[in-house]
Structure 1
Amino acid sequence: MRDVAKKAGVSLSTVSLVINNGEHVSDDVRSRVEWAMDALHYVPNELARNLSKNRTNTVGVILPTLRHPFFATLFASLQTALEERGMLALPCSTSDMKRGEEEYVDMLRRRMMDGIIMGAHTSHSADYWTSIGHPVVAFDRYLGMGVPTVGSDHEQGSRLVCDLLIRTGARHVVNLGGPRSQFHDLADLLASGADAEYLSTSYHSLSSYLVFRSMLPQAGVRWSFMESGEVDDFDSYARAAHDVFDRYPDADAIVCADITAALCVEEARSRGLRVPEDVQIVAYDGTYVTRLSGGGLTSICQDFDAIARLLTRRLMQLVEGPSAGEVDDAGADRVPMTLRIGSTTR
């Protein structure tokens, strides 16, 4: 830095201001300093800069697997949103790397990261997450009082799907989804009168399950739920897409995640069934996979960019503190979903 200051004919503090994008530096002085840095091949030591600020500018993003198109798409949006705030997204894939979230939480406690966005299933209690004492924001799940959560409005999205299926005359709708052992949201569940067997986890999209469970039967539509396996068990998707037609031969509508929906389209056509004339198939997520399955597929779409921006804003409020602006109360942000029928979005 002293060499740069000497070559540019400015003080050492001026060089520091330019490097740190400080104010009160004229364009002429900034240009001279940047010219000197380029001429001397000077690269600021980011590690030293961050240590002086007690920051790493790194955020751990904990997801089940990056092989899944949903989480790959979400992570891509998060990378962009975090980069706009000067942050680097560190992918922490609990399934692909065979590690639990404890390792990444330990990194946060040792200040190797500035915060965590938690988007994987966890068996830890709320006390574990609220006792960390460092910035944590949850994606699509409830981790405990005081931990902000951001996700899609699954209740609103599911109502869009139910309205469509009721309006189009569906008689038997089958939901394919992850293990029901992952469902829990104690206060909401108890208030809804849900069965006790579903009171054991933190998965917020349970609200979607509850909408289908109540709304369709009230309209006289038979409704069934079938587990399609863990999110990282890709073989189970194919088995579920095959088995659902054998187990429920009278089903005229199937709602499931994008990969399973695409496989259901293939399975239906192999059985001589027309989509959507004989069986409606609704893909729940709206990733690029739905564009590859051919015509006839309806999608309920999550807004990945909006989710990523909200997750980033919530986390940065915790990382930067009140000086970054008014900090929202910890709570839940819900992003509206849209229904896409072919090329038409509603």
Structure 2
Amino acid sequence: MVGMRDVAKRAGVSLSTVSLVVNDTGYVSADMRAKIEDAMRALNYIPNELARNLYHDRTNTIGVIVPTISHPFFATLMAALQCEFASRGLRTLLCSTADASTGEAEYVDMLRRHMMDGIVMAAHTEHAEDYWTSIGRPVVAFDRRLGAGIPSVGSDHEQGGRLIAERLIAGGIRHVVTVGGPRKQFEGSGNGITFPTVRYHLTLERLVERRGIRWDYVDAGVVADLDSHARTARAILDRFPDVDAVVGSDLVASYVVQEALRRGIRVPGDLQIVAYDGTYMADAAGLPLSCIRQDTATLARRVAQLMEQAVAGSASRGGGDVESPVQEVEDTIVPVEFVPGKTTR
């Protein structure tokens, strides 16, 4: 097996000079670098990446924890994140907590042991804030708050709720049903809210209630339980015969469209439907969905930027294992847009 000593001997230079080139850690003249690179090619020398990573205390790998990649939004987000990290020379290691129940703990352990450079946390966690803040390694939260000093990136869900309310109120609705996850996620929904996504529900409910419009909330279960979305669509139309508007994820909205058309309910004449996310699923429901589109490209770009900053800061502190004061960081809030389709008036 060819090693750096063989490269040094062929190039006629010292082992330390070859090490500088391989690890890119010091100045080597252009002529000397070319000579060493020629020797590496001639010998088909492949640097030991593990050793090089240990030398730099970097793995160039970022772990991303999501609830599931079966859901259209998280599949879209994951694709955008992988592209963003790849453009920065970083690999992405995916964990779906629906498929690996111990994935969160395993990834955090890998991060603590410097087997990854950082974690993007985009799934539900049962841990208290001090668990995440005590890790002392780069963590970026997506659409949730994990604790002081941990940056969070998410969409402007209050704006999303306002845009939906304005559209539906203008369309003359009398009874709207919104669909989301377990209502317990709404607890503590002040400034300390853990899941900012629920704010679109809260904003929509508040605005339609002011107009005397009836609203109901239906729990479709956890995001990874995709089978429940179809059941929920049927249950809404069974339970609320007077409903004239439904708001839910792209997947829920698609099922509602299909179920309404099957029952002879006119969309949007009798029933208006608004999807929340704006993924590829918004065009696959049978009718183009009116939707709130989250800007996944911008969200992924900002997550990657914050991760780069966090990793660089960790490296400057010698790997991030030293105690440092926890400072509040401002959340990144990305605007959403309402995209008209054929399911609203």
Q: Same fold (TM over 0.5)?
A: yes
1:296: Cα distance to partner? Answer: 4.2
The question of 1:141 aligning with 2:144 is answered yes
Which residue does 1:196 correspond to in 2? none
SS in 1 for 2:212: coil
TM-score normalised by structure 2 residue count: 0.87
SS in 1 for 2:275: strand
The residue type equivalent to 2:154 in the other structure is G
Further displaced range: 213-222 or 233-242: 213-222
SS in 1 for 2:191: helix
1:119: Cα distance to partner? Answer: 0.7
Give the alignment's Cα RMSD to 1 decimal: 2.4
Which residue does 2:92 correspond to in 1? 89
Alignment of 1:229-248 (within 5 A): 229-248=221-240
The question of 1:55 aligning with 2:58 is answered yes
1:39: Cα distance to partner? Answer: 2.7
Deviations 1:84-106 (A, max 9, x none): 22221111111112225222212
The residue type equivalent to 2:293 in the other structure is C
1:153: Cα distance to partner? Answer: 0.8
The residue type equivalent to 2:199 in the other structure is S
Q: Is the 8 A contact 1:183 1:204 kept in 2?
A: no
How high is the sequence identity, in percent, across the aligned residues? 53
Structure 1 runs (4+) deviating above 3 angstroms are 2-36, 184-187
Q: Is the 8 A contact 1:142 1:185 kept in 2?
A: no
Further displaced range: 162-171 or 180-189: 180-189
The residue type equivalent to 1:336 in the other structure is P
The one of 67, 70, 81 equivalent to 1:67 is 70
1:264: Cα distance to partner? Answer: 0.7
Further displaced range: 28-37 or 124-133: 28-37
SS in 1 for 2:83: helix
1:10: Cα distance to partner? Answer: 5.8
Which residue does 2:276 correspond to in 1? 284
Q: Is the 8 A contact 2:154 2:299 kept in 1?
A: yes
Describe the shift of the 1:236–1:323 C-alpha distance in structure 2 as closer, same or farther (beyond 3 A): closer
Describe the shift of the 1:52–1:25 C-alpha distance in structure 2 as closer, same or farther (beyond 3 A): closer
SS in 2 for 1:205: helix
The question of 1:316 aligning with 2:308 is answered yes
The residue type equivalent to 1:152 in the other structure is S
2:34 and 2:139 mapped to 1: Cα distance?
39
Q: Is the 8 A contact 2:161 2:204 kept in 1?
A: yes
SS in 1 for 2:196: coil
Q: Is the 8 A contact 2:85 2:91 kept in 1?
A: yes
Which residue does 2:218 correspond to in 1? 226
The one of 129, 132, 135 equivalent to 2:132 is 129
Q: Is the 8 A contact 1:122 1:202 kept in 2?
A: no
**Unmatched segments (≥5 aa) in structure 2:** 317-326
1:21: Cα distance to partner? Answer: 5.5
Further displaced range: 43-52 or 96-105: 96-105
The question of 1:79 aligning with 2:71 is answered no
The residue type equivalent to 2:329 in the other structure is A
Which residue does 1:342 correspond to in 2? 341
Which residue does 1:208 correspond to in 2? 200
Which residue does 1:193 correspond to in 2? none
The question of 1:115 aligning with 2:118 is answered yes
The one of 159, 163, 167 equivalent to 2:162 is 159
1:203 and 1:250 mapped to 2: Cα distance?
31
The residue type equivalent to 1:282 in the other structure is V
SS in 2 for 1:65: coil
Further displaced range: 11-20 or 289-298: 11-20
2:21 and 2:56 mapped to 1: Cα distance?
17
Alignment of 1:17-32 (within 5 A): 17-20=20-23
Q: Is the 8 A contact 1:301 1:337 kept in 2?
A: yes
1:30 and 1:162 mapped to 2: Cα distance?
63
Describe the shift of the 1:27–1:76 C-alpha distance in structure 2 as closer, same or farther (beyond 3 A): farther
The one of 288, 296, 300 equivalent to 2:292 is 300
1:236: Cα distance to partner? Answer: 0.8
Q: Is the 8 A contact 2:95 2:103 kept in 1?
A: no
1:209 and 1:270 mapped to 2: Cα distance?
27
Q: Is the 8 A contact 1:172 1:223 kept in 2?
A: yes
The residue type equivalent to 2:279 in the other structure is T
The residue type equivalent to 1:342 in the other structure is G
Q: Is the 8 A contact 2:258 2:286 kept in 1?
A: no
Deviations 1:217-262 (A, max 9, x none): 1133222111111111122111101010111111111110111111
The residue type equivalent to 1:138 in the other structure is A
Deviations 1:240-290 (A, max 9, x none): 010101111111111101111111111010011122222111111111111
Alignment of 1:37-56 (within 5 A): 37-56=40-59
How many residue pairs match? The answer is 329
1:76 and 1:126 mapped to 2: Cα distance?
28
Q: Is the 8 A contact 2:155 2:334 kept in 1?
A: yes
The residue type equivalent to 2:338 in the other structure is L
Q: Is the 8 A contact 1:4 1:15 kept in 2?
A: yes
The residue type equivalent to 2:208 in the other structure is L
TM-score normalised by structure 1 residue count: 0.87
